[in-house]
Structure 1
Amino acid sequence: MSSKHVVFDIVGTLVSYDHVFEALDTRLGDRLRAEGIKPRLLGYTWMEAAEREYTNLSLSQRYVPFGEVFRALFYRMLWMAGIAEPRSWATPEDLEFIMKEYQLLEFRPGAAECVQKLRDAGFTVWAFTAADITRVGGYFKNAGVELPAENLLSCDDVGVGKPDLAAYHPLLERLKSESDGKIPWFAAAHMWDVSAAKVAGFKGAYCHIWEKESLSELFGEMDVMADTLPEMADKIIANQASI
């Protein structure tokens, strides 16, 4: 096994949210727009609210898998968007359609190239996600990107959600023991995620592809910051070679 390791966040980083936003538009788009609600903005706020509640449950030691939290918040998000009677406005079938499409998120452009660049440079690639392993494994399979089952890890395994530092520590310690003194990398397109991993002890690589604005004044500067995923891979490789 290589002594160089990079751990990726998956959903939002290598995998785009666009398919679930498109599912919202397909199923509810005309109805949403009639209410003055943009489907993509609703999808974004739903995802962000789910991440908050998932984290809050984890911090209060009542861990619930992310997918369950995401599903549960659907009608609340419609209420917050201004729908007076969410459960009569949208049906359980509407929600099931969106959740089914959520299983089919796709790799971002350049994501497979990013992974291959790192592997060609001698890095072992890992995935550490808040999502369930079966769903995330399906994203890799559908993209034609091989990932050994043992290299795909979920917060579900330890019952602690990111960005709690305790979520990162078990994998960090494991990889440090295999790295001949090299510090393993954590790569994400969520600044809250990669910055927490850096505080935990990883080297941090951030890609602007999702958030665009890094908000470094809040989260700090990472060891690598890039506009695209392949560029992020190149910068990780160059940084490692300079050590």
Structure 2
Amino acid sequence: MSSSKNIVFDVVGTLVSYDHLFNAIDSRLGPRLRAEGIKPQLLANTWFETAEREYTYLSMSGKYVPFTSVFRAVFVRVLWMAGIPEPRTFASTEDLEYLMDAHGALQMRPDAVECVQKLRDAGFTVWGFTSGDLNRVAGYFREAGINMPAENLISCDSMGIGKPDPAVYQPLLDRLMEENEGKKPWFAAAHMWDVSAARRTGFMGAYCTVLEKEPLLDLFGDMDVVDDTLGGMANKIIVKQASAE
């Protein structure tokens, strides 16, 4: 049984930073990429964006494939689309394995621990809802020293539906509202497409600009809370929740 106050976090990109992988791309492929006029960070973001699109499109079409499998598969295509004429010569299988290992060793953002603790101290039950592999994502919490009960960490893999399909948010929303006398839970993310979809499903929405910088509210709609840092977002959630009680 959860508490009367619940917050569901997207994990990778929100609590967890991509910086470790960005640095790995720079150290492994940086000189080669710059020789082609490609910034390593641009390639990294293009890789993530392409993988998220293909993951979502596959799910929408009825063929769910775990995100990590999609992420690995599209790497060569991303190099080609970036203008590398012979991507398999440009980057070896060993290069890709090195980068995938880095992806598996991502780290929490500096204020992620503080953010989670603030919310727990204010009486919130914290959940994680990810498109990633549960074992990998659970490892991110362990490495950061955040105790995340296994029952509070959920992956789209177990449902066979990818975010941001409304059907992926609805069961958790229904469960939390049923357990807590109709009180709305929160959903927090640094991906606006994610938190806005959750909010349209019925969650309270909290968005942190740490990843995307621009909220684009005209495009995605209003949020209940917006802040530039995870800690600041947590403070605003606590205040907003208190005012509603």
Per the normalisation by structure 2, the TM-score is: 0.98
Task: Name the counterpart of 1:87.
Answer: 88
Residue 110 of structure 1: how far off its partner (Å): 0.9
Matches within 5 A, 1:89-238: 89-238=90-239
Shift of 1:181: 2.4
Superposition deviation, residue 232 in structure 1? 0.7
How far apart are residue 106 of structure 1 and its match? 0.6
The separation in 1 between residues aligned to 2:73 and 2:242, in whole angstroms, is 46
Partner Cα separation in structure 2 for residue 239 and residue 31 of structure 1: 49
User: Which consecutive unaligned segments of at least 5 residues does structure 2 have?
Assistant: none
**Percent of aligned positions with the same letter in both sequences?**
66
Structure 1 residues not aligned, in runs of 5+: none
Write the distance in 2 (CA, Å) between the matches of 1:12 and 1:139.
12
Aligned equivalent of 1:38: 39
Instruction: With the length of structure 1 as denominator, give the TM-score of the two structures.
Output: 0.99
Structure 1: 4+ residue segments shifted above 3 A? none
- Asked if the contact 1:13/1:189 (under 8 Å) is kept, the reply is yes
Query: How much does 1:125 deviate?
Result: 0.1
Question: What's the CA shift for 1:178?
Answer: 1.6
The 1-side partners of 2:110 and 2:220 are apart by: 26
Where does residue 56 of structure 1 map in the other structure?
Answer: 57
Match for residue 66 of structure 1? 67
State the aligned residue count.
243
Task: Write the letter of the residue equivalent to 2:11.
Answer: I
Three-state SS of the structure 2 residue aligned to 1:153 is: strand
* 1:168 Cα deviation from its structure 2 partner: 0.4
Matches of 1:80 and 1:163, distance apart in 2: 25
Aligned-pair distance for 1:180?
2.5
